[in-house]
Amino acid sequence: MRRWPAWRAAAGLSAVAVAGFGGGLWLSGAGVPPAFATPARAPALCEDYGGLPPEAQTPHAGMVRLPGGRMTMGSDVHYAEEARTHEVTLDGFWIDRHDVTNAQFARFVEATGYLTVAERMPDLARHPDLPPAMRVPGSAVFIMPAAGRQGHWRYVAGANWRHPEGPGSDIRQRANHPVVHVAYEDALAYARWLGRELPTEAQWEYAARGGLEGATYVWGNEFAPKGQAMANTWEGPFPMLNTGADGYAGTAPVGCFAPNGFGLYDMAGNVWQWTATWYRPAHPAGARHNPAGPAERDSIDPRQPGVPAKVIKGGSHLCSADYCMRYRPAARQARETDSGTSHIGFRTVVNLSSS
């Protein structure tokens, strides 16, 4: 069960609470990213893409088949929760080429009548200490900096996947953007509607690495090779200024940056992605085969003791070089399962043994 006191201040979140929504610890001396060249566009996706794979009626629509293999998982040189590095082998699986889009999620809702967690009345029996402003359907939205004010998190009544910034916003021009404001159960419901699952952390990290063993980023070891933006991230001092130098200040359409070695788009930046793995700080030592991670009863989130959490991966457009730097395959964060935010999405998998 979520502990709600962290939400109480002004019925929202200050900038210092960003870490609780997939931010991170301040990296002193990290500086800000260099000025970026215009990001390379992927001709089949990005602005010209409608958000639905052309083969939408096939069992593996919009997916890439990975034969499986071996990788060194984790990192011993970044955040403590990413250690220890260890060898993992995985059987083959299919994974979505890009994050699930608004267009894809809309098809699911139209077919099933599904109502997301953000669209329902909060369960006051489970959360009797919710502040008054949060006793209505809604979700956490990051308010971008403006007029000299820092960016900050706020619970916005009426914010959901259809209205990403709250009432008055919509997705009519964002069919090809990743769906956001999806809680874990929403993502899982979509996946199972298609006969799929959510990836384990190991599957996700293997896919993100794209065959680059030990590389820092999903594209290599340099954050911006030749000044080229490789992912949708925050440029500038967080949370005071986002220059949007990579072309986007919020979410971007899927596939606007070059794919990794497996042909997968946006495995770093844009939106965080749910995994099926329960969170514990750090990794167990020793080689693993198809690791699923700890049981729910063994999940530990040091920020919210007693609240089981899932692992989210990939970072988002709110991750910066001077604050988060979690747009790396080894990076990981804990996220309680009963709510989404304006910067968490997901993608799905099909295991070859079940396809």
Q: Which two tokens stand for residue 155?
A: 């619970």
Q: What pLDDT was estimated at residue 130?
A: 84
Q: What pLDDT was estimated at residue 14?
A: 31
Contacts of residue 50, defined as CB under 8 A and 6 or more positions apart, other chains included, come to 103, 175, 176
pLDDT digits (tens, 9 = 90+) for 98-132: 999 999 999 999 999 999 999 999 888 777 788 88
Q: Per mean pLDDT, which range of 239-243, 250-254, 276-280, 315-319 is the poorest?
A: 239-243
CATH number, position 93: 3.90.1580.10
- Stretch 79-95: mean pLDDT: 97
- Stretch 208-234: mean pLDDT: 95
Q: Is the pLDDT of residue 150 over 60?
A: yes
Indicate the number of domains in the chain: 1
Report how far residue 126's alpha carbon sits from residue 2's, in angstroms, rounded to the nearest whole number.
9
Q: Is the pLDDT of residue 3 over 60?
A: no
Q: How far is CA 112 from the centre of its chain?
A: 24
pLDDT digits (tens, 9 = 90+) for 12-61: 333 323 333 333 322 322 333 334 444 444 446 899 999 999 876 788 99
pLDDT digits (tens, 9 = 90+) for 316-348: 999 998 888 899 999 999 999 999 999 999 999
Q: What pLDDT was estimated at residue 32?
A: 35
Q: Is the pLDDT of residue 244 over 70?
A: yes
Domain containing 130 equals 1-355
Q: What pLDDT was estimated at residue 330?
A: 98
Which segments of 271-336 are extended strands (E)? 272-278, 288-289, 309-313, 333-336
